[in-house]
Every structure is written in structure tokens, then in C-alpha cells.
Structure 1
Amino acid sequence: MGHDEFLFLLAGLKWTIGLSVIGFICGGISGLGVALARTSGNPVLERVMKGYIALFQGTPLLMQLFVVYYGLALIGLKLDAWVAVSIGFTLHASAYLGEIWRGSIDAVPRGQTEAAEALSLTYLPRMRDVILPQALRISLPATIGFLVQLIKGTSLASIVGFVELTRAGNIISNQIFQPLLVFGIVGCLYFIICWPLSLFGTHLERQFATSTR
């Protein structure tokens, strides 16, 4: 494999990272809304969000991307592949991060909520100043673990023709007929990104477990 082919792989890696960042940040913002809705105490809102989470956790990501790209086109909303996969990963991430953060909010000791209520703090100030800072610390290992899964999941974006790292590897493999070499390099690039994140998540999990003893 030559210099040009390797640069093409790096270009695919750039789009993999970009898609992961967009999906994680946008999904995190909307996921926070999902988590707050799930813990709002409003039965209707909680049921709606529970159904939303069940929908995206109960269906394959590949199908979700397919529906966003091809399904919306059927009703006249033709999206660019980049926009479509960004929306698909945002929706997917919001459901998973929303549930992770909902669990972290519930894991904060009940006494913290009771103390905030005793100070006459309403729901939003209570969440912002008391509950969420503690829940964020609890959720960090699981959040980083999900980010690793999201990065690897970007390989499914090729279903709509989006050229990320795996798709770039497939294109080069079909040109030079060296699949073991090409996908060995692709695997190493994924490993270089994901392994440090996994180690960091494990470190945070151990640190949190030690601090709670």
C-alpha cells in the first residue's frame, strides 16, 4: 500500500473522528434533556422519554441510519449523507446517554435531594447546583465507554455512502487487493483512538470505586 492510499485512510479517519464528535456532543446535549425529562416527576413526559429510549435501544443502529437517510427521502426530505448520519448518530447517542445520565441522577443519594428541597430549591436549580455535578462524576466511566462504542459504530455510516475509516479501507482494498494489510492498518487506527479512551474510563471507574469505600 502506497503513500496516497495511506493518506486516503487518514482522510477517512478524519471523518470518523468528526462524526463521533458531532454525534457525542449533539447527542450529549439532547441526552441531558432526555435524562432531565426522565427524572422530572411528570408521568406523561417520563413515559414519552421511556418510549424514546426503548425505540433507539431496541433497534439496530444500522436500521436507524437507513431510516433517517432513505426514509426521509421518501417523504421528500433528501439529506446529504453527512447530515443524515449526523442526525442518526445524534438520536442514537441521545437515547443511550440520556439513560446513562438518568441512572447517574438516580444514583445520587436521596439525602442530597432532600437537603436541596429543604433549602427551597426548585427542580432546575436543584439539578444544576446539587444533583448534576455529582451525577456527572458518577456517569463518567459509562459515558466514556459509550463514546468508544460510538466511535466503532461510525463504521455503519457506510450504508448511506459516507466515506469514513472502514469505508475508505474497503475502497482501497478493492483497488489494491490486499485486504489483510489494509484492514490491519484500519484496525490499528481504531485501536489507537479507542484504547486510550478505554484505559481512561477504567481509571475513572477505579478511582470512583476507591473514593466511595
Structure 2
Amino acid sequence: MASIGPNELFFLMQGLKWTLALTVIGFIGGGVFGLCVALARVSESALVQRATAGYIAVFQGTPLLMQLFVVYYGVALLGLNVDAWIAVAIAFTLHASAFLGEIWRGGIQAVPKGQTEAANALSLHYISRMKDVVLPQAFKIALPATIGFLVQLIKGTSLAAIVGFVELSRAGQIVSNQTFRPLTVFALVGLIYFLICWPLSLWGAGVEKRMQTATR
């Protein structure tokens, strides 16, 4: 059995780089589109509400693995030749937008109606009302759930290996095949995931606890 040396560790760090990059792209892109989804879900148009509810149902009701397959091979069927990481980034953005949109929709609807009524009394138009009054409070309410989804998104990037994307888990599999030390390699990979996700989980739990204390 070969030893795990600097080259193998460097290869794992390269995989970690792509895991973090994919997480950032998916979370930011999903956040932008998720905000649009959340606003559509609380709009006054019943048609827009039903359309976005269907969009959310599709992505929440199907496995992320299937979504990766559909986007990756669907783009190819359209005659577009894109790199695996672009297709994966699109899939994660769509996936995150559905979940974040629903999380933030709940946050918006949790804002006391008196806040909106006060904004209307001040004759604030829709954009100012949402930007200055509703959304800051909604995002604060939804922050623990948002952090929790971010943790799930980080771990979900491991599924990108199924379409040939070399992220941390796939890099660990390659190193394991080269060194014949699967327990050691995947223990190291698991430790890396833990060191990333555990502080985020603690942060989310702390935010939730402070919010519960503040509402008493």
C-alpha cells in the first residue's frame, strides 16, 4: 500500500477548492433567484404563486442526484457543449433557489403584519417597503434555516462526482484507489467536511437560540 504524501494531500485540497467554489456559486446564485422565488410566492397574483409553488415542488420533491443528471445531459441535448462544472453550477443554483425561496417566503410571512401596515401608512412604495422594512426582518428570522441549508448544500456537492466533477469526495475516491487506504483517506475527507460544517451548525444553533431568547 502506498503512503499518503504531499501530492495526495494537495490533490485533496484541489478537490476541496472546487467543493467550496461550487458551494459559493450555488448559494449566491440560488440566493439571487431564491429571492425572486420568495417574492413571487407572496405576490398578489394567484397565477404567479401557483407557478412558483410548482417550481419549488419539483426541486424539493426530486433527488438532487436526478436534478444533476437532467441538467447535465439536458444541456447536451440542446446542442450546447459545456464543461461539467458549469452544468453542475446551474443544477445547484436551481436547487438552492427553490429551497432558499421557500425558506425566505416563510421569513417574509413571519414578519408581523403591523410592520407592513405601518409602511403602507407611510405611503412607502412596494420596493421601498420590501427593501427597508420587510426583507431585513425576514432574513433575520430565516437566518438559522438558511445556515442549515448551507450546511446541507456543502455536503450535497459530493453528488457532483456522478457527472465527472472532481470535488472533495471524488478526489478522496481517486486518492483511495491510488493508495489502497480507503479508511484513512475517507476519514480525512470526513474530517475536512466536519471542520467546515460543524462551525456553521454551531453558528446556526447560536443564532436560533438568541432569537428564541429575544422573543421571550
Question: Could you state the TM-score of these two structures normalised by the residue count of structure 1?
Answer: 0.98
Runs of at least 5 residues in structure 2 that lack an aligned partner in the other structure: none
Q: Hey, what does 1:197 align to over in structure 2?
A: 200
C-alpha separation in 2, matches of 1:72 and 1:4 = 34
Q: In 2, Cα distance between the equivalents of 1:124 and 1:36?
A: 11
Which amino acid in structure 2 is aligned with residue 198 of structure 1? S
Q: Does 1:91 align with 2:112?
A: no
Q: Using the alignment, how far apart are the partners of 1:99 and 1:124 within structure 2?
A: 20
Query: Which letter maps to 1:205?
Result: E
1:172: Cα distance to partner?
0.7
Give how far 1:129 is off: 1.0
Q: d(CA) in 1 for partners of 2:14 and 2:83?
A: 19
Alignment of 1:211 with 2:214, yes or no, is yes
1:176 Cα offset (Å):
1.0
Percent identical among aligned pairs is 69
Residue 121 of structure 1, CA deviation = 1.9
- Structure 1: gaps (5+ residues): none
Partner of residue 23, structure 1: 26
Aligned to 2:45: 42
Deviations 1:119-173 (A, max 9, x none): 2222221111110010011011000000000000000000110000000000111
Q: Report the secondary structure of 1:121's partner residue.
A: coil
Aligned match of 2:16 in 4, 10, 13?
13
- Name 1:135's counterpart in structure 2: 138
AA at the equivalent of 1:118? A
CA distance in 2, matches of 1:200, 1:41: 35
Find the counterpart in structure 2 of residue 183 from structure 1.
186
What are the equivalent positions in structure 2 for 1:97-108 lying under 5 Å apart?
97-108=100-111
Structure 1 residue matching 2:62: 3-state secondary structure? coil
Give yes or no for contact 1:69–1:78 (8 Å, CA) kept in 2. Answer: no
Q: Which residue of 1 aligns with 2:116?
A: 113
CA distance in structure 2 between the aligned counterparts of 1:45 and 1:96, rounded to whole angstroms: 17
Matched, 1:81 2:84: yes
Q: CA deviation at 1:77?
A: 1.9
Q: CA deviation at 1:81?
A: 0.4
Tell me the residue number matched to 1:57.
Answer: 60
Q: How many residues align?
A: 213
Whether the aligned pair in 2 keeps the contact of 1:13 and 1:165 (CA below 8 Å) is yes
Q: Distance in 1 between matches of 2:81 and 2:56?
A: 26
Over aligned residue pairs, what C-alpha RMSD do you find? Answer: 0.8
User: Tell me, what secondary structure is at the counterpart of 2:128?
Assistant: helix
Amino acid at match of 1:107: A
Cα deviation, residue 78, structure 1? 2.4
In structure 2, distance between residues paired with 1:57 and 1:201: 22
CA positional deviation for 1:75: 2.4
Worse-superposed segment, 113-122 or 55-64? 113-122
